[in-house]
Structure 1
Amino acid sequence: MTSFSTTVQAAAVGRPAYSQTFPCEPSTAEIGRKLVRDVLGVWHLDTLADHATLIVTELIANAARHTRCREIRLIVARPSPTRVRVGVVDREAARLPALGQADEDDESGRGLFLIDAVADRWGYDLRGSGRRPWGKEVWAELRIGGDE
Protein backbone atom coordinates (compact mmCIF):
# COMPACT_ATOMS: atom_id res chain seq x y z
CA MET A 1 0.00 0.00 0.00
CA THR A 2 1.18 3.50 -0.79
CA SER A 3 1.71 5.83 2.13
CA PHE A 4 0.82 9.49 2.16
CA SER A 5 3.59 11.60 3.58
CA THR A 6 3.49 14.81 1.55
CA THR A 7 2.63 17.95 3.48
CA VAL A 8 -0.46 19.67 2.08
CA GLN A 9 0.07 23.32 1.23
CA ALA A 10 -2.52 25.78 -0.03
CA ALA A 11 -1.73 27.85 -3.09
CA ALA A 12 -1.13 31.50 -2.25
CA VAL A 13 -2.59 32.90 -5.48
CA GLY A 14 -5.02 31.89 -8.17
CA ARG A 15 -7.32 28.96 -7.76
CA PRO A 16 -5.85 26.66 -5.15
CA ALA A 17 -5.57 22.98 -5.99
CA TYR A 18 -3.77 19.88 -4.86
CA SER A 19 -3.21 16.68 -6.84
CA GLN A 20 -1.28 13.48 -6.46
CA THR A 21 -0.95 10.22 -8.38
CA PHE A 22 -1.78 6.95 -6.65
CA PRO A 23 -2.14 3.27 -7.58
CA CYS A 24 -5.57 2.48 -9.02
CA GLU A 25 -6.66 0.07 -6.31
CA PRO A 26 -9.37 0.06 -3.62
CA SER A 27 -6.85 0.54 -0.77
CA THR A 28 -6.00 3.97 -2.19
CA ALA A 29 -9.33 5.24 -0.85
CA GLU A 30 -7.90 5.44 2.69
CA ILE A 31 -5.03 7.62 1.50
CA GLY A 32 -7.42 9.68 -0.62
CA ARG A 33 -9.67 10.37 2.37
CA LYS A 34 -6.70 11.58 4.40
CA LEU A 35 -5.51 13.82 1.59
CA VAL A 36 -8.97 15.36 1.18
CA ARG A 37 -9.32 15.97 4.93
CA ASP A 38 -5.84 17.54 5.08
CA VAL A 39 -6.51 19.84 2.12
CA LEU A 40 -9.89 20.93 3.47
CA GLY A 41 -8.24 21.58 6.85
CA VAL A 42 -5.64 23.86 5.24
CA TRP A 43 -8.48 25.75 3.53
CA HIS A 44 -10.48 25.91 6.82
CA LEU A 45 -13.33 23.96 5.21
CA ASP A 46 -13.49 21.05 7.63
CA THR A 47 -17.30 21.12 7.54
CA LEU A 48 -17.17 19.67 4.01
CA ALA A 49 -14.92 16.77 4.99
CA ASP A 50 -17.57 14.10 5.55
CA HIS A 51 -19.20 14.59 2.15
CA ALA A 52 -15.87 15.08 0.37
CA THR A 53 -14.40 11.87 1.82
CA LEU A 54 -17.51 9.91 0.80
CA ILE A 55 -17.12 11.29 -2.72
CA VAL A 56 -13.42 10.45 -2.98
CA THR A 57 -14.05 6.94 -1.66
CA GLU A 58 -16.69 6.28 -4.32
CA LEU A 59 -14.66 7.86 -7.15
CA ILE A 60 -11.60 5.75 -6.31
CA ALA A 61 -13.71 2.60 -5.95
CA ASN A 62 -15.29 3.21 -9.37
CA ALA A 63 -11.92 3.79 -11.03
CA ALA A 64 -10.47 0.63 -9.44
CA ARG A 65 -13.48 -1.45 -10.42
CA HIS A 66 -14.34 -0.13 -13.88
CA THR A 67 -10.97 0.70 -15.46
CA ARG A 68 -7.79 -1.20 -16.21
CA CYS A 69 -5.61 1.75 -15.23
CA ARG A 70 -2.57 1.24 -13.05
CA GLU A 71 -2.64 4.77 -11.69
CA ILE A 72 -5.16 7.49 -10.98
CA ARG A 73 -4.69 11.15 -10.17
CA LEU A 74 -6.66 12.59 -7.26
CA ILE A 75 -7.41 16.31 -7.51
CA VAL A 76 -8.85 18.56 -4.81
CA ALA A 77 -9.47 22.06 -6.14
CA ARG A 78 -11.32 25.33 -5.61
CA PRO A 79 -12.72 26.13 -9.07
CA SER A 80 -14.44 29.20 -7.58
CA PRO A 81 -14.57 30.93 -4.19
CA THR A 82 -17.82 29.09 -3.40
CA ARG A 83 -16.97 25.53 -4.56
CA VAL A 84 -14.65 22.64 -3.79
CA ARG A 85 -14.11 20.00 -6.47
CA VAL A 86 -12.91 16.47 -5.83
CA GLY A 87 -11.90 14.56 -8.95
CA VAL A 88 -10.22 11.36 -10.07
CA VAL A 89 -8.42 11.19 -13.41
CA ASP A 90 -7.90 7.86 -15.16
CA ARG A 91 -6.69 6.87 -18.61
CA GLU A 92 -9.87 5.18 -19.86
CA ALA A 93 -11.83 7.72 -21.86
CA ALA A 94 -14.15 5.04 -23.26
CA ARG A 95 -15.53 4.02 -19.83
CA LEU A 96 -17.80 6.94 -18.94
CA PRO A 97 -19.71 7.13 -15.65
CA ALA A 98 -23.49 6.69 -15.67
CA LEU A 99 -26.09 6.22 -12.98
CA GLY A 100 -26.92 2.52 -13.03
CA GLN A 101 -29.65 0.33 -11.68
CA ALA A 102 -28.84 -1.56 -8.48
CA ASP A 103 -31.25 -4.13 -7.07
CA GLU A 104 -32.09 -4.13 -3.36
CA ASP A 105 -29.76 -7.02 -2.58
CA ASP A 106 -26.85 -5.92 -4.80
CA GLU A 107 -23.67 -5.22 -2.85
CA SER A 108 -22.43 -2.59 -5.30
CA GLY A 109 -23.68 -0.23 -7.97
CA ARG A 110 -24.76 2.69 -5.79
CA GLY A 111 -21.61 4.85 -5.78
CA LEU A 112 -22.81 7.48 -8.23
CA PHE A 113 -26.19 7.60 -6.50
CA LEU A 114 -24.40 8.43 -3.24
CA ILE A 115 -22.30 11.08 -4.97
CA ASP A 116 -25.43 12.51 -6.60
CA ALA A 117 -27.11 12.69 -3.19
CA VAL A 118 -24.34 14.60 -1.38
CA ALA A 119 -22.73 16.69 -4.14
CA ASP A 120 -24.00 20.00 -5.44
CA ARG A 121 -23.19 18.70 -8.92
CA TRP A 122 -21.03 16.04 -10.55
CA GLY A 123 -19.88 14.98 -13.99
CA TYR A 124 -16.88 14.11 -16.09
CA ASP A 125 -14.50 15.87 -18.46
CA LEU A 126 -12.54 14.11 -21.18
CA ARG A 127 -8.81 14.78 -21.15
CA GLY A 128 -6.76 15.28 -24.28
CA SER A 129 -7.91 16.34 -27.72
CA GLY A 130 -11.59 16.14 -28.63
CA ARG A 131 -10.93 13.55 -31.33
CA ARG A 132 -8.53 11.38 -29.35
CA PRO A 133 -8.98 11.78 -25.61
CA TRP A 134 -6.44 9.94 -23.48
CA GLY A 135 -8.54 9.82 -20.33
CA LYS A 136 -11.20 11.45 -18.20
CA GLU A 137 -11.72 13.20 -14.90
CA VAL A 138 -14.80 12.20 -12.93
CA TRP A 139 -15.55 14.95 -10.44
CA ALA A 140 -18.05 16.18 -7.87
CA GLU A 141 -18.42 19.63 -6.40
CA LEU A 142 -19.56 20.78 -2.98
CA ARG A 143 -20.81 24.28 -2.33
CA ILE A 144 -18.98 26.18 0.39
CA GLY A 145 -21.32 27.66 2.96
CA GLY A 146 -24.33 25.56 1.98
CA ASP A 147 -26.88 27.92 0.40
CA GLU A 148 -24.52 30.57 -0.94
Structure 2
Amino acid sequence: MPQPLEREAAMPCMTAKRSLLIVPRLHARGAGRPGYDMHLARQIRSAALARRAVRTVLMCWGLPGALVSDAELIACELVTNAILHADPARRTRPGHCRLTLERPARHAVRIEVSDDSPALPAKREPGGDEPGGRGLVLVEALAADWGVTLRPPGKVVWALLQVQP
Protein backbone atom coordinates (compact mmCIF):
# COMPACT_ATOMS: atom_id res chain seq x y z
CA MET A 1 0.00 0.00 0.00
CA PRO A 2 1.48 3.38 -0.94
CA GLN A 3 2.43 5.80 1.82
CA PRO A 4 0.45 9.06 2.01
CA LEU A 5 2.28 11.96 0.45
CA GLU A 6 2.83 15.01 2.60
CA ARG A 7 4.13 18.39 1.67
CA GLU A 8 3.89 21.76 3.29
CA ALA A 9 2.93 24.95 1.54
CA ALA A 10 2.76 28.38 3.10
CA MET A 11 -0.47 30.33 2.82
CA PRO A 12 -0.33 33.96 3.99
CA CYS A 13 -3.36 35.30 5.81
CA MET A 14 -3.96 38.76 7.13
CA THR A 15 -5.83 39.56 10.32
CA ALA A 16 -6.71 42.93 11.74
CA LYS A 17 -3.82 42.71 14.21
CA ARG A 18 -1.03 41.00 12.32
CA SER A 19 0.01 38.88 9.41
CA LEU A 20 -0.06 35.14 10.04
CA LEU A 21 1.47 32.31 8.10
CA ILE A 22 -0.65 29.18 7.88
CA VAL A 23 1.28 26.07 6.98
CA PRO A 24 -1.26 23.50 5.80
CA ARG A 25 -0.50 19.83 5.52
CA LEU A 26 -1.50 18.81 2.00
CA HIS A 27 -1.59 15.12 1.25
CA ALA A 28 -2.92 12.57 -1.18
CA ARG A 29 -5.85 10.48 0.01
CA GLY A 30 -6.95 7.20 -1.42
CA ALA A 31 -6.46 7.31 -5.17
CA GLY A 32 -4.81 10.71 -5.13
CA ARG A 33 -7.82 12.71 -3.95
CA PRO A 34 -6.71 16.11 -2.69
CA GLY A 35 -7.03 16.84 1.00
CA TYR A 36 -6.26 19.66 3.43
CA ASP A 37 -6.01 19.63 7.23
CA MET A 38 -5.74 22.58 9.58
CA HIS A 39 -5.68 22.62 13.37
CA LEU A 40 -7.33 25.70 14.84
CA ALA A 41 -7.22 27.10 18.36
CA ARG A 42 -10.61 27.20 20.05
CA GLN A 43 -10.74 30.98 19.76
CA ILE A 44 -13.35 32.97 17.90
CA ARG A 45 -10.77 34.39 15.44
CA SER A 46 -10.22 30.84 14.17
CA ALA A 47 -13.53 31.00 12.29
CA ALA A 48 -12.13 33.78 10.07
CA LEU A 49 -8.90 31.83 9.54
CA ALA A 50 -10.93 28.77 8.50
CA ARG A 51 -12.95 30.88 6.08
CA ARG A 52 -9.82 32.25 4.39
CA ALA A 53 -8.19 28.83 4.23
CA VAL A 54 -11.28 27.30 2.61
CA ARG A 55 -11.41 30.07 -0.01
CA THR A 56 -7.71 29.70 -0.83
CA VAL A 57 -7.72 25.90 -1.05
CA LEU A 58 -10.93 25.58 -3.07
CA MET A 59 -9.88 28.29 -5.50
CA CYS A 60 -6.54 26.48 -5.96
CA TRP A 61 -8.55 23.33 -6.69
CA GLY A 62 -10.39 25.27 -9.41
CA LEU A 63 -13.87 24.91 -7.92
CA PRO A 64 -16.62 27.35 -8.98
CA GLY A 65 -17.07 30.59 -7.07
CA ALA A 66 -20.59 29.76 -5.86
CA LEU A 67 -19.38 26.53 -4.29
CA VAL A 68 -16.41 28.35 -2.73
CA SER A 69 -18.70 30.96 -1.15
CA ASP A 70 -21.05 28.32 0.26
CA ALA A 71 -18.09 26.29 1.56
CA GLU A 72 -16.65 29.37 3.30
CA LEU A 73 -19.91 30.00 5.11
CA ILE A 74 -20.36 26.36 6.10
CA ALA A 75 -16.79 26.04 7.40
CA CYS A 76 -17.17 29.25 9.38
CA GLU A 77 -20.42 28.03 10.96
CA LEU A 78 -19.03 24.58 11.84
CA VAL A 79 -15.83 26.01 13.34
CA THR A 80 -17.83 28.59 15.30
CA ASN A 81 -20.05 25.81 16.67
CA ALA A 82 -16.98 23.80 17.72
CA ILE A 83 -15.56 26.86 19.48
CA LEU A 84 -18.74 27.97 21.26
CA HIS A 85 -20.71 24.80 21.89
CA ALA A 86 -18.48 21.73 21.78
CA ASP A 87 -17.57 21.77 25.46
CA PRO A 88 -18.53 24.99 27.24
CA ALA A 89 -17.09 23.78 30.57
CA ARG A 90 -13.59 23.69 29.03
CA ARG A 91 -13.72 27.14 27.40
CA THR A 92 -11.20 28.47 29.90
CA ARG A 93 -8.64 25.81 28.94
CA PRO A 94 -6.87 25.91 25.61
CA GLY A 95 -8.04 23.44 23.02
CA HIS A 96 -8.36 23.03 19.31
CA CYS A 97 -10.59 21.81 16.55
CA ARG A 98 -9.57 20.45 13.19
CA LEU A 99 -10.78 21.57 9.78
CA THR A 100 -10.47 18.99 7.00
CA LEU A 101 -11.31 19.51 3.34
CA GLU A 102 -11.59 16.60 0.93
CA ARG A 103 -12.51 16.43 -2.72
CA PRO A 104 -14.37 13.12 -3.08
CA ALA A 105 -15.39 13.89 -6.67
CA ARG A 106 -14.54 16.41 -9.36
CA HIS A 107 -17.48 18.70 -8.54
CA ALA A 108 -17.77 18.07 -4.82
CA VAL A 109 -16.07 19.04 -1.58
CA ARG A 110 -16.51 17.59 1.90
CA ILE A 111 -15.91 19.88 4.87
CA GLU A 112 -15.26 18.31 8.27
CA VAL A 113 -14.75 19.97 11.64
CA SER A 114 -13.70 17.68 14.45
CA ASP A 115 -13.34 18.38 18.16
CA ASP A 116 -12.79 16.35 21.30
CA SER A 117 -16.28 16.77 22.73
CA PRO A 118 -18.97 14.09 22.34
CA ALA A 119 -21.68 16.78 22.74
CA LEU A 120 -23.82 16.60 19.60
CA PRO A 121 -24.85 19.74 17.72
CA ALA A 122 -28.51 20.62 17.89
CA LYS A 123 -30.32 22.31 15.02
CA ARG A 124 -32.53 25.08 16.34
CA GLU A 125 -35.31 27.19 14.89
CA PRO A 126 -34.59 30.56 16.53
CA GLY A 127 -37.11 33.35 16.68
CA GLY A 128 -36.75 36.38 14.43
CA ASP A 129 -35.13 38.55 17.11
CA GLU A 130 -32.59 36.00 18.39
CA PRO A 131 -29.02 36.91 17.38
CA GLY A 132 -27.78 33.33 16.87
CA GLY A 133 -28.86 29.75 16.43
CA ARG A 134 -29.08 29.65 12.63
CA GLY A 135 -25.77 27.94 11.87
CA LEU A 136 -26.99 24.41 11.23
CA VAL A 137 -30.09 25.73 9.44
CA LEU A 138 -27.70 27.46 7.00
CA VAL A 139 -25.55 24.34 6.69
CA GLU A 140 -28.62 22.24 5.89
CA ALA A 141 -29.82 24.77 3.30
CA LEU A 142 -26.48 25.03 1.47
CA ALA A 143 -25.12 21.47 1.67
CA ALA A 144 -26.21 18.48 -0.39
CA ASP A 145 -25.90 16.47 2.84
CA TRP A 146 -24.52 16.90 6.34
CA GLY A 147 -24.21 14.91 9.51
CA VAL A 148 -22.25 13.95 12.60
CA THR A 149 -19.88 11.02 13.07
CA LEU A 150 -18.82 10.08 16.59
CA ARG A 151 -15.06 9.49 16.86
CA PRO A 152 -13.90 9.07 20.45
CA PRO A 153 -13.12 11.16 22.33
CA GLY A 154 -15.29 13.53 20.28
CA LYS A 155 -17.04 13.91 16.96
CA VAL A 156 -16.80 15.11 13.38
CA VAL A 157 -19.48 17.39 11.95
CA TRP A 158 -19.37 17.22 8.16
CA ALA A 159 -21.06 18.75 5.14
CA LEU A 160 -20.95 17.72 1.50
CA LEU A 161 -21.26 20.37 -1.21
CA GLN A 162 -21.81 19.58 -4.87
CA VAL A 163 -22.28 21.53 -8.07
CA GLN A 164 -23.72 20.32 -11.32
CA PRO A 165 -20.97 19.76 -13.92
TM-score, length basis structure 2? 0.76
Q: 2:74 aligns with which of 52, 55, 78?
A: 55
Deviations 1:52-76 (A, max 9, x none): 0000110011111102361000001
Instruction: Give 1:109 deviation, angstroms.
Output: 0.5
1:51 counterpart SS class:
helix
Instruction: Give 1:3 deviation, angstroms.
Output: 3.1
1:80 aligns with 2:105: yes
Aligned to 2:158: 139
Deviations 1:10-37 (A, max 9, x none): 7495221100111012210111011101
Instruction: Give 1:78 deviation, angstroms.
Output: 1.2
Deviations 1:58-106 (A, max 9, x none): 001111110236100000111233420111100001x112211311111
Aligned to 1:35: 53
**Between Structure 1 and Structure 2, whose CA radius of gyration is higher?**
2
User: Structure 1 residue runs of 4+, over 6 Å off?
Assistant: none
Aligned length: 140
Alpha carbons of structure 1 residues 10 and 37: separation in structure 2 relative to 1, 3 Å: farther
Aligned to 2:83: 64
1:100 counterpart SS class:
coil
Aligned to 1:91: 116
Whether the 8 Å contact between 2:24 and 2:38 is mirrored in structure 1 is no
Gaps of 5+ in 1: 128-132
Which one has more relative contact order, counting CA pairs under 8 Å at least 6 apart? Answer: 1
Deviations 1:92-146 (A, max 9, x none): 01x112211311111011100011111111111111xxxxx21111011101x33
Aligned mates of 1:82, 1:139 — CA distance in 2: 17
Aligned mates of 2:55, 2:26 — CA distance in 1: 13
1:109 aligns with 2:133: yes
What RMSD over aligned residues (CA atoms) do the two structures have, in Å?
Answer: 2.3
TM-score, length basis structure 1? 0.84
Instruction: Give 1:5 deviation, angstroms.
Output: 2.7
1:5 aligns with 2:22: yes
Aligned mates of 2:84, 2:108 — CA distance in 1: 28
Aligned mates of 1:121, 1:85 — CA distance in 2: 10
Instruction: Give 1:9 deviation, angstroms.
Output: 5.0
Gaps of 5+ in 2: 1-14
